[in-house]
Structures are given as C-alpha cells and as structure tokens.
Structure 1
Amino acid sequence: MTLSIEEQRRIGAAIQTAEAKTSGEIVCVLARASSDYLAYATAWSALAALIAPWLLIAFTQFSVQRIFLAQILIFTALFVVSSASGLRHRLVPRRVRRAQAHRAAMEQFMIRGMARKANRAGVLIFVSFAERYVRIIADDGIADKVDPSVWQDAVEALLGHVSDGRIGDGFVTAVEKCGAVLAAHFPPGEQKDELPDRIFVI
C-alpha cells in the first residue's frame, strides 16, 4: 500500500478545490493498519504452546526437558510466523478489526483538529488499508443538516477504488463528493482554511 508523491499532490489539490466552494473543511487520512494486533499473535502462539505438552506426553516418550524445549520452540516459531503482517490480521476476528479501525478513525478526527472549527463543519475521510475499512466522519455542524446516508455514496466509491488498488483516485472522488455536500450547506464565508490541504499517511 503506497501513495506516490504525485497522488498525494492530486488529493491535496482536490481538497483545495473543494474547500474553495465551502466554509467547511475536509481532512483525509490513510492508515496502513489501525493496530499491530501483536497481542493476537502472542495469544495464539501461547495457546498452541500450552496445548503441545499434553500431546507430546500422550503420544511420545519425550523427557520433561525435551517437552519443555519443544514448547519453547513451538511458541517461538508460531509467533514469528503469525506476527508476519499478512497473516497477523487474519488471526483477528473481523468485528475486532472493524472496532479497532473505527476507534482509530475517531482518534484521527480529534488529532487532526476537526472539532476545533467554529462552524463545526469538518469532514474526515478515513481509510485503514489492512482492514479494508472506510469511514466518513462529519462534525456536528454538518451532521445535523444531512442524513448519514448522504455519505454512503462517497464511501462506496472510495471502497471500490481501494479494492481496485486505485487509492489515490478513490480519495479524489470522495473529496469531490464530500465537497459538494459541504458546499450545499456551508457556502464560502469568512471562515478561514485552518487545516492543511493534504492527505495524512500514517
């Protein structure tokens, strides 16, 4: 998962263009993953290492020392394999991954200063690549004026592009769609552009 410098510039330009038509703000965040999930790799490896001695006792004549050594080797080998990023995420239940991605999106909303806008018309476009999770979070000012389903079109467009490996195009499309919603409810005014017109890759 990468975004080239050119793609990042395109997204920044799309944000700038969209915000020229509204007093709202748009912030984009692309996360490689919402968590490292190492706790799950540790838990699965420990479980296997705890079960292994019972099997070795039942089906082998190994000494206590060899069983203990086997237990250590099983834990170490499984942890090394399961902590590889591709496999690590598959060991985590989908609902846990979604909950973690949702938590990360809410954290980014606060970290990026979205809630500091006086008119409360900020929109965060968040993608967590490892979880294939897309979320659009609108601050109270705009959320009170539009039905949450309004953002679904942008979410689906972004998900489609992410699935095709065209993350940059997906963000540009989502920015344009969110910008149109903001422009309809928060036309340009004296509100300053307070947040950077760029995508944050974390």
Structure 2
Amino acid sequence: MSLINTQEQQLLIDAIQRVENKTDAELVTVLARQADDYRYIPLLWASLLALLLPGAVNYYPEWLNPHQLILSQWALFIGLALLFQIPALQSRLVPRQVRHWRASNLARRQFLEQNLHHTTGETGMLIFVSEAERYVEILVDRGISARIPDAYWQGIVAQFTEQVRRGNVAKGFVECIDACGVELQRQLPATTTKNELPNHLVIL
C-alpha cells in the first residue's frame, strides 16, 4: 500500500493504544486499496456502445452490409472493453454511488470479519478507508452508539475524507483516531484494562 509505510503504521498503532488505554472502546483500522475491481462496468459500457452502433450507421446504410455490421460490433465491443480496463478510464465509468455502495458493503463485512461485534460491552469501533473510492466510514457497536449518536462521527469522517483526497492517509488516520478518542474518553472512560483485538492496521 503506497500511502502507508511501516513507520506510519506504527504511528497508527500508537494512536490506537493511546485511545484504548483511556477508554473501554476497541478500535480496529482497515485500509483497502479498492472495494471492487468493477470489471463488469467496462463490459456494460462496451456492450451498450456496441449495441448503439447500428443506429449510428443507419443513416449511411451503404457503409456496411449486415455481415460487416456484426463484425464491426464485435470489434467495437472488444476494443472498448480492453480500453475501458485502463484504471484512469475505468474510474470515470463507475458512478460515485456505485463506488460508495461497494465500499460501504466492504466496511460492514470487515466489521464482522474483525469480530468487532463480539467485544466485551459491545464497544467495538471500525475506522475504514477505501483508497481508490476516497471513502471513509466509522462503524460502532451498540455499546458505543448507545452513548454517542452516529451523527457525531460525520464531521470526523468528512475531515478524514479530505485528507484521503489529498493523499494524506496516514495523517488522516491518526487525526481521526485522536478525534474519536476525545469523545470516547468522555462517554466511555476506561473501567478495566483489556485489549481484545489487534491494534495493527489491517490492509486489504
């Protein structure tokens, strides 16, 4: 993961430990390079444009006979399907709503896979980033949401998202963890010493 090196990962671990030493929350951080490969999106665009080809040449029927038209459609489909695999083009073809929907689904899967729903007191918190989608989400278990409304995290997420857009993923993570820790310490101060989940950054 190009935006997070070993030294920066240690900064995240230190930040998580600072928060967990002062609160009952269990923090897990996850960084995904991309939530989906979106291979089907370029194929859909290539198929659509190939299907539109007969209409485009309908005004000039002398250009292609039926056999040539079919071959041209196949050639156009294959050429566009390959062209649209270029990452810079592919990212422009995928609607933002689709990218965020896929990233959100991945965040929820990670919440379960990292066992954040099995912590003592239901105080698990996931800080999730999908780099390609520029997507950030904070998910918390019931022990935290009962004390702190979900809307509280929106401002922190917005600031972190801006850092991701600028390429400052590591800095954004540390600032986000520290900002979450302020309210967690106020609402869920440490009552016992525990460390149920790993503090290292999970990289997908």
Equivalent of 2:187 in 185, 188, 200:
185
Please say if 1:42 is aligned against 2:43.
yes
Please name the residue that 1:95 is paired with: 97
Please name the residue that 2:19 is paired with: 18
Please name the residue that 1:167 is paired with: 169
Name the CA distance, whole Å, in 1 between partners of 2:107 and 2:95: 19
Name the CA distance, whole Å, in 2 between partners of 1:81 and 1:157: 35
Name the CA distance, whole Å, in 2 between partners of 1:70 and 1:191: 69
Name the CA distance, whole Å, in 2 between partners of 1:185 and 1:75: 57
Please name the residue that 1:2 is paired with: 3
> 1:20 is paired with a residue of what secondary structure?
helix
Equivalent of 1:80 in 71, 77, 82:
82
Name the CA distance, whole Å, in 2 between partners of 1:153 and 1:13: 23
Equivalent of 1:119 in 118, 121, 135:
121
**122-131 or 60-69: bigger deviation:** 60-69
Superposition RMSD in Å: 1.8
Measure how far apart 1:143 and its partner are. 0.5
1:54 to 1:163, Cα distance in 2 relative to 1, 3 A:
closer
Q: Which amino acid aligns with 1:8?
A: Q
Name the CA distance, whole Å, in 1 between partners of 2:88 and 2:193: 44
Measure how far apart 1:102 and its partner are. 1.5
CA contact (8 A) 2:31 2:130 kept: yes
1:148-194 Cα shifts (integer Å, max 9, x gaps): 23212321221222122111000000011112222222222335211
Measure how far apart 1:57 and its partner are. 5.2
1:117-155 Cα shifts (integer Å, max 9, x gaps): 021111111111222211111111010111223212321
Q: Which amino acid aligns with 1:201?
A: I
> 1:120 is paired with a residue of what secondary structure?
coil
**116-125 or 147-156: bigger deviation:** 147-156
**146-155 or 77-86: bigger deviation:** 146-155
Measure how far apart 1:58 and its partner are. 4.1
Please name the residue that 1:143 is paired with: 145
Please say if 1:28 is aligned against 2:29.
yes
CA contact (8 A) 2:26 2:124 kept: yes
Measure how far apart 1:67 and its partner are. 2.2
Q: Which amino acid aligns with 1:136?
A: I
> 2:129 is paired with a residue of what secondary structure?
strand
> 1:130 is paired with a residue of what secondary structure?
coil
CA contact (8 A) 2:3 2:167 kept: no
Q: Which amino acid aligns with 1:133?
A: Y
Measure how far apart 1:5 and its partner are. 1.5
Q: Which runs of 5+ in 2 are unaligned?
A: none
What is the 5 A alignment of 1:47-66? Answer: 47-56=48-57, 58-59=59-60, 60-66=62-68
